Amino acid sequence: MAESLIHIATYSSPIEADLARARLEAEGIPAVVDNGRLLVPESAAEDAHALLTEEAADAEAAYTEASGPPAPELRCPVCGTTQVVAEPGSLLVRIALLLIGQFVPLGDQSTGRRLRCEICTYRWREGEDADGRVPSIG
Ligand SMILES: [Zn+2]
């Protein structure tokens, strides 16, 4: 086989280059690694390149899928939208209430996050719905 070899990819580590070579050979494409450079016969260059590009795209797609934002199951009990945010600083609110003399039962208040609907601005605590709303003091 007097076919000339074509350089299709360069790898920073010999291990990567070797993995790519193994991948190509598994698909029936003979490949050679030379000093981190991946070489294939000219007639196989297109297939080899497509295969490696496909691999990269697959890896990227898998990564994007895995790192996507977690879908929150939170829903506003009033208007039903999922445009719900957790309010930070509920502990500060509790401390502020203590300072102004309001008694806040710590046991009852420690579960669930404070949530706020961005659409209708209704506030509630995680795990409660509109019917289980704690009557406001005063
Ligand atoms: Zn709402």
Tell me the two tokens of residue 34: 């030379």
Question: What is the CA(118)–ligand 1 centre distance, in A?
Answer: 7
Q: Is the pTM of this model over 0.85?
A: no
pLDDT of the chain, 138 residues: tens digit per residue: 567 999 999 998 888 899 999 999 999 999 999 988 999 999 999 999 998 888 777 777 776 666 555 444 678 889 999 888 887 655 666 677 667 665 555 544 445 678 889 999 999 887 665 555 555 555
Q: Which residue has the tokens 């609110």?
A: 93
Same domain, 45 and 14: yes
Question: What is the CA(131)–ligand 1 centre distance, in A?
Answer: 14
Tell me the two tokens of residue 73: 């199951």
Do residues 21 and 40 lie in contact, with contact meaning Cβ atoms separated by under 8 Å?
no
Question: What is the CA(122)–ligand 1 centre distance, in A?
Answer: 6
For ligand 1, a single-atom ion, the residues with CB < 5 A are: 76, 78-79, 117, 119-120, 122
CA 79/CA 121 separation, integer angstroms: 10
Question: What is the CA(133)–ligand 1 centre distance, in A?
Answer: 14
The domain tally of the chain equals 2
From 38, 66, 94, give the residue that closes a domain. Answer: 66
Same domain, 12 and 60: yes
What is the span of the domain harbouring residue 47? 5-66
CA 52/CA 44 separation, integer angstroms: 12
Do residues 82 and 75 lie in contact, with contact meaning Cβ atoms separated by under 8 Å?
yes
From 42, 66, 90, give the residue that closes a domain. Answer: 66
Same domain, 76 and 138: yes
Same domain, 59 and 93: no
Identify which of 61, 91, 76, 93 has the alpha carbon closest to the alpha carbon of residue 130: 76
